[in-house]
Amino acid sequence: MTIYWIIFIGIALLSWLVSSNLQRKFERYSQIPLPAGLTGREVAEKMLRDNGINDVQVVATRGMLTDNYNPTNKTISLSESVYASRSVAAAAVAAHETGHAIQHAMAYAPLKMRSALVPVISFSSNIMTWVLLAGMLLLQVFPGVLLFGIVLFATTTLFSFITLPVEINASQRALAWLSNAGLTNINTHDKAVDALRSAAYTYVVAALGSLATLLYYIMIFLGGRSRN
97 is catalytic: yes
Active-site hit among 42, 45, 97, 167: 97
The DSSP bridge pattern shows strands 75-79 and 68-70 to be antiparallel
Q: What angle do CA 87, 168, 116 make, to 5 degrees?
A: 115
Q: What angle do CA 163, 167, 171 make, to 5 degrees?
A: 170
Which residues are tagged catalytic?
A: 97
